[in-house]
Structure 1
Amino acid sequence: MTGEVEKPVVVAVLGAHSTGKSAFLARLTHELRRDQVQVATVADLGEEAQRIGLPILRNHTWASTLWIITRGISKELEAWLHADVVLVDRAVPDALGYYRAALAHRGEHPDPRVQARLETLVRDHSTTYDLLYRTTLDPDIPLGDNKPRDPDQTFRHLADHHVAAVLHDLALPHRLLPSHGHDHALHDALGFIMNKLSGTESNTS
């Protein structure tokens, strides 16, 4: 189709806060650019949501969740125009996991109609991810101090659980990214991306 945007290779990471997502993507970006691959990154939207007055983390609402999902989709599609590889810090299923965690933390139940709409958006857009990694929570690793963090460890565990549950419930293929497994995942991701770019991919998800 004339004018159709050519989809790049899209690699996304999601998981509880302070589990190494940004650090892993920074290493992957460095390695790809060293190999002369054109890379675009889509950053975590939590701080942007907070700046405009939307509640985040344990205070998430369906509206803040919808904003993060749709804003994330828009930013990802914009990045498609500028790169061979797009790296996403917090894939859209992450926002749904955090919403579920926030509801559980507050002892609330979601509106089934709202939940269904959010799930449809997340499921449909997640087909654009070529490779999806979920970090795993290591409670012995402290919260990072490079940006405001929610210090509530109970909520951090809820986020880890519910992000994993969303991936399971929506049957979204993904690979695990434990705190001790970044070197292996980096090698894994680089091989996958280079194979995709060269047209010699093998489906090992």
Structure 2
Amino acid sequence: MVTSPVPIRIGVMGAHSTGKTLLMRRIEMELRGQGIPVARTGKLGRRAALVPLPKMQHHTLASTMWVMATGIAAAARLEEGPLQVVLADRACWDALAYFRAAQEWRRQPAARADREALHRLASAHGHTYDLLLDTVLTPTLPVERKHDYDARYRTLVDRHTHDLLREENIRHVRVTSDPASQDLAIERALQLCTTEAPL
């Protein structure tokens, strides 16, 4: 039986409206422009709202498990196809950061068993990225009026994102709102995908 090579995996995580999806779209467009087979997961937030499940500062163990499992399953389905690159718009660790931020926002610490269960799931799949991009919140940048975000929760997500990456000693590329930083991240992704060697 002939097996297809494992595609390169690129993930992104960070607080909401920090440019995650736009960054993934730009990488996808650049790769397609070079004829590299690529697919992107995404829209987990919209799908969770249709279930419906709690979101943002209302995240629960169940909703976080759902986001993680759905993202993992979506990436796994893509990896079964003839792809060279899979882009994960919201890496596994992202959901855990949102959950931890929700617990702090509500001042309701989760049970230790629940925290450990989520951590095990994120750990099992969170180290499979060849490149992980971490978008950084710039609080002074305006957010579209249609997004009624809680500013404190958004800040907590940003902090927990960076805390998780540091605690787990995960290699990543920080991406700020500076166009030069975004261009550099895209260049790193293209370099990885064109040389087929993890950074």
Q: Which amino acid aligns with 1:14?
A: M
**Structure 1 gaps, min length 5:** none
Residues 136, 179 of structure 1: 8 Å contact kept: yes
Give me the CA root mean square deviation: 1.5
Distance 1:4 1:110 in 2: 42
Partner of 1:60: 59
Partner of 1:115: 115
Question: 4+ residue runs of structure 1 moved beyond 6 angstroms?
Answer: none
Distance 1:10 1:185 in 2: 14
Report the secondary structure of 1:40's partner residue.
strand
Residues 5, 80 of structure 1: 8 Å contact kept: no
Change (3 A) 1:143 1:3: farther
Partner of 1:26: 25
- Alpha-carbon offset, residue 47 of structure 1: 1.1
Q: Deviations over 1:164-193 (max 9, x none)?
A: 122222222211011111111111211111
Distance 2:91 2:148 in 1: 20
Q: Deviations over 1:73-97 (max 9, x none)?
A: 1001001122110111110100000
Report the secondary structure of 1:13's partner residue.
strand
Report the secondary structure of 1:138's partner residue.
coil
Distance 2:182 2:26 in 1: 9
Partner of 2:168: 170
Q: Which amino acid aligns with 2:64?
A: T
Partner of 2:85: 85
Q: Deviations over 1:67-119 (max 9, x none)?
A: 11111110010011221101111101000000000010001111111111111
Which one is further off, 3-12 or 152-161? 3-12
Distance 1:131 1:185 in 2: 10
Distance 2:122 2:4 in 1: 21
Percent of residue pairs bearing the same amino acid type: 34
Residues 134, 175 of structure 1: 8 Å contact kept: yes
Q: Which amino acid aligns with 1:88?
A: A
Partner of 1:160: 158
Change (3 A) 1:3 1:59: farther
Partner of 1:133: 133
Partner of 1:36: 35
- Alpha-carbon offset, residue 195 of structure 1: 1.1
- Alpha-carbon offset, residue 12 of structure 1: 0.7
Residues 15, 21 of structure 1: 8 Å contact kept: yes
Q: Deviations over 1:132-162 (max 9, x none)?
A: 01000011222246xx634211111001011
Q: Deviations over 1:7-34 (max 9, x none)?
A: 2001111100110111111111111001
Normalised TM-score (structure 1): 0.90
Change (3 A) 1:80 1:19: same
Instruction: Determine whether 1:192 maps to 2:185.
Output: no
Q: Which amino acid aligns with 1:169?
A: E
Distance 2:96 2:142 in 1: 24
